[in-house]
Amino acid sequence: IRLLFNRKKKTLRSVLNTKSVMKLLEDNRRTVQSLHPEKMVDGRPAQVIVEEILERDSWKGQRAAKLDLDDFLQLLAEFNEAGIHFN
């Protein structure tokens, strides 16, 4: 959530699609996979997964400033289901 509030006038896609955020997400993903090797591993890169989630109608073009707490929790749940975790 902190990532989104740092640039709250930008769209979710533009905030989450930067090189530094993608590196952070890939590192977090590798950490979770090493801690829980029994879970099914999705071989796709994090960028592809993030794009798929943000292309859904509910998130397309959304800005962090316009989201309420329930929206943030729903977005976080969708990322967690897809194997993308934030710390």
The domain 2-81 having CATH identifier 1.10.8.480: the answer here is yes
Domain ranges within the chain, ordered by starting residue: 2-81
Q: Are 28 and 86 in contact (CB under 8 A)?
A: yes
pLDDT digits (tens, 9 = 90+) for 26-72: 998 888 888 888 776 677 888 999 999 999 988 999 998 898 999 99
* Whether pLDDT at 4 is above 90: no
Q: Is residue 3 predicted with pLDDT exceeding 90?
A: no
> Is the pLDDT higher at 79 or at 3?
79
CA distance 56 to 47: 15
Quote the CA–CA distance of 58 and 22 in Å, as a whole number: 21
| pLDDT value, residue 35 | 86
CA distance linking residue 73 with residue 39, whole number of Å: 23
Q: Give the global pTM.
A: 0.83
